[in-house]
Amino acid sequence: MRVGQGGTGPGVHTPDGSAVAMYEVSSARGEDELIGGAIGAESSILELGCGTGRITRPLLALGHQVVAVDESADMVARVAPLGVETVCSTIGDLRLERRFDVVLMMSFLINVADDGERLRLLETCARHVRPGGSVLLQQEVPGHRHAPAEMGDEHRRMVVSDVEDLPDGSQAATLTHTIDGRTWSQRILTKNLSEDHLTAQLTEAGLRLTSYLTPDRMWIKAQLDGPAPTNPS
């Protein structure tokens, strides 16, 4: 388990506390359309933290080619049957020596609390996007996790509880999902990023923020800042 994170509930959990069985019964909620609208037709996409392929599936249906990466072998095993290339690796260690039209890192992975780890994630994005290509990131925005908060419908419910603001500016919270009578809880540790902080880290990784895809600034588009550096062998 990663520090400050953990998961409970039926089935296997990834090191970040995500429940494999929960993602297996979850489908896209508009993210695929947002991503599809921001990239060119038939793009090559490197998807970092693909989980069970909740978003991989609709991206393939839209005609894109996806290489799907996750550190959890249990997650990757759910994506392989889709016929895509899969890689079981932590994002920070990924070195494919190839570049893609699009590098997608969603699910608030950029909000990892540790600044050094966040830089490693962004460096991986920079190492794998082609000049002129896009890095798409999904970040937490202020107020995203207010407790007590409850949302959903008769089939699925998510409750945010036990929110704790920590001295280093990070935030811990418990997310409890109930889907058709099964319940999973995940303790997460995240850090909201000011625009200055985000911009500075993108620059350090060799990237440049080019636009926000949504008015709430949750979705970010970045590009290589200058010519592509030569990938180390």
Ligand X SMILES: C[S@@+](CC[C@H](N)C(=O)[O-])C[C@H]1O[C@@H](n2cnc3c(N)ncnc32)[C@H](O)[C@@H]1O
Give me the residues that bind ligand X (CB under 6 A), please: 14, 16, 18, 23, 49-51, 54-55, 70-72, 75, 90-91, 106-107, 109
* Residue among 44 and 111 whose Cβ is closer to ligand X: 111
Shortest CB 186 distance to ligand X, Å: 8
Question: 70 has which bridge partners?
Answer: 88
Shortest CB 226 distance to ligand X, Å: 26
> Which residue is nearest to ligand X, using beta carbons?
51
Q: In Å, what is the CA distance from 11 to each residue of 14, 94, 155?
A: 10, 27, 19
Closest C-alpha to 26, from 52, 46, 61, 7: 52
* Residue among 114 and 225 whose Cβ is closer to ligand X: 114
Q: Which is it for the CA torsion 66, 67, 70, 74, positive or negative?
A: positive
Shortest CB 93 distance to ligand X, Å: 8
* Residue among 44 and 131 whose Cβ is closer to ligand X: 44
CA distance 33 to 59: 9
Kindly report the length of the chain. Answer: 233
* Residue among 112 and 224 whose Cβ is closer to ligand X: 112
Backbone angles phi, psi at 152, to 5 degrees: 135, -160
Backbone angles phi, psi at 96, to 5 degrees: -90, -10
What DSSP letter does each residue of 190-221 carry, written as one string?
Answer: EE---HHHHHHHHHHHTEEEEEESSTTS-EEE
| Alpha carbon 172 to chain centroid, angstroms | 18
* Residue among 35 and 222 whose Cβ is closer to ligand X: 35
**Two tokens, residue 23:** 């993602």
* Residue among 31 and 101 whose Cβ is closer to ligand X: 31
